Amino acid sequence: MKVTVVGTGYVGLVTGTCLAESGNDVTCVDNNPAKIETLNAGKLPIYEPGLLELVQRNRHDARLSFTTDLRTAVRAARLIFIAVGTPQSEAGDADLTAVFAVADAIGAALKDEPPGPPGSRVVITKSTVPVGTNKAVAGRLAAAGCPHVEVASNPEFLKEGAAIDDFMKPDRVVVGVRRPEVAEVLRELYAPFLRTERPFLVMTPESAEMTKYAANAMLATKISFINEMANLCDRLHADINDVRKGIGHDQRIGFQFLFPGPGYGGSCFPKDIEAVIAMGRRTGLPLKLMQAVDAVNDDQKLVLFGKIAAHFGGDLAGKTLAVWGLAFKPRTDDIREAPALTLIDELLAAGVKVRVHDPEAMENVRALYGEKLYYADKPYGALEGADGLAIVTEWPEFRNPDFELIRRLLAGHVVFDGRNVYDERTMSQYGFTYYGIGRGKR
């Protein structure tokens, strides 16, 4: 099929590339000429494992192209995905400015064409959007003279760092449609990814839009729950690792997302929880559980700093701390709402000199902080002369370091492990004072 994807961020670029990999003719559109120039040069504006190879292969085989010319790309496509950003507004709602701008541009491009049979031209919202957006987009297209253009909802469930596998081997594909013919077009598009009997779930657009928010709300709830239990374990001298195993083996609960840490971040959970709260507020329904999830996460981002301040007796001015891990999770360079940034802000405000390392996110952090931080090319380079080490992101290369070398490089032999990467007994054997999350030490 001929497919156009508008937006070349994480979702749009992964969607377009994976659809090209399955044999479709895909054009990705963006209004940022610099991004398109980067992509046409065979490079990526983001880091996502495995994506560069797929982009280069499909460009070479002429199944994937990049352009700023939305009108031409839209008129050539049967399926048009909207995959632009929906950042959080000041009121907490999702800002749909970009989505509606793309919808209006699509309407302007297609208003003169004769209508075809159902499913011959479909606009698909891939962006995470509040319930009712599908209807609003359809209304805007109709007002622009395109009542024949169908509008479907197809939420994404991609994890940064594993987005290729998530798209190629989905747990499920959710589509929201108003005509069965449109569902069949999308079923044909996704058929190559559903050969292992993964479900293709057809529902109303409103239900599809809500499914995305409900999924993220449940996952965020699990994270805030285990973090709150970890903080209670600290006070009661219990070990959250043991507790996690004790509850995770209950099949009703499971282990996924039951890993305590410094709080969730990224482009999805924080803004999506705020959007869910805002949707409830608009309908007169206070969502107390979601408000609590959000509040627990905000507090959790300060827990690691609290442990650091307590260890040094509140006297942090003039200290130097090394920070390993800046991205909000491993295998990405995304620092949006990253817990590491909260920690860095608190440390700088307390007069601490901060030395940082991350395998992929260094340049993004440098763009925010400039010369306020010392940027080490290698993990061990961040340790030299530091009074302690804080681990905020559990990159694989941090899991089995040379502890003897760490001890020699650090001026202060203390490790603040925000991800419970290390074993407390091992750290003690190497002479470290060790603080984890929920491991029984406040």
Whether 71 and 178 map to the same domain: the answer is yes
Work out the burial of residue 281: count CB atoms within 10 Å of its CB; fewer than 13 is exposed, 13-18 middle, 19 or more buried.
middle
Does 37 carry a binding-site annotation?
no
Sequence-ordered strand ranges (E) for 279-375: 320-324, 353-357, 374-375
Whether 137 and 209 map to the same domain: the answer is no
- The string of DSSP letters for 212-226 reads HHHHHHHHHHHHHHH
Residue 441's pLDDT is: 66
Q: Which of 157, 178, 202 is the last residue of a domain?
A: 202
**Of 18, 146, 233, 268, which one is the catalytic site residue?**
268
Does 35 carry a binding-site annotation?
yes
Whether 132 and 279 map to the same domain: the answer is no
Whether 268 and 396 map to the same domain: the answer is yes
Find the helix packing angle between 205-236 and 133-143, rounded to 10°.
150
Domain that holds residue 287: 204-442
Q: Which of 143, 170, 202 is the last residue of a domain?
A: 202
Whether 132 and 237 map to the same domain: the answer is no
Does 157 carry a binding-site annotation?
yes
Whether 222 and 188 map to the same domain: the answer is no
Does 260 carry a binding-site annotation?
yes
Residues in the chain: 442
Does 336 carry a binding-site annotation?
yes
* Backbone φ and ψ of 210, nearest 5°: -70, -35
CA 349 – CA 424 distance, rounded (Å): 30
pLDDT by residue for the chain (442 residues), tens only, comes to 999 999 999 999 999 999 999 999 999 999 999 999 999 999 999 999 999 999 999 999 999 999 999 999 999 999 999 999 999 888 888 999 999 999 999 999 999 888 888 788 999 999 999 999 999 999 999 999 999 999 999 999 999 999 999 999 999 999 999 999 999 999 999 999 999 889 999 999 999 999 999 999 999 999 999 999 999 999 999 999 999 999 999 999 999 999 999 999 998 999 999 999 999 999 999 999 999 999 999 999 999 999 999 999 999 999 999 999 999 999 999 999 999 999 999 999 999 999 999 999 999 999 999 999 999 999 999 999 999 999 999 999 999 999 999 999 999 999 999 999 999 999 999 999 999 999 986 5
148 within 8 A of 122, measured Cβ to Cβ: no
Whether 189 and 332 map to the same domain: the answer is no
Buried b / exposed e along 326-363 (16+ C-beta atoms within 10 A): bbbbbbbbbbbbbbbbbbbebbeebebbbbbbbbbbbe
Q: How many CB atoms lie within 10 A of CB 60?
A: 10
CATH number of the domain encompassing residue 35: 3.40.50.720
Residue 143's pLDDT is: 96
Predicted structure pTM score: 0.92
Q: Which of 202, 235, 262 is the last residue of a domain?
A: 202
Active site residue 268: yes
Residue 323's pLDDT is: 98
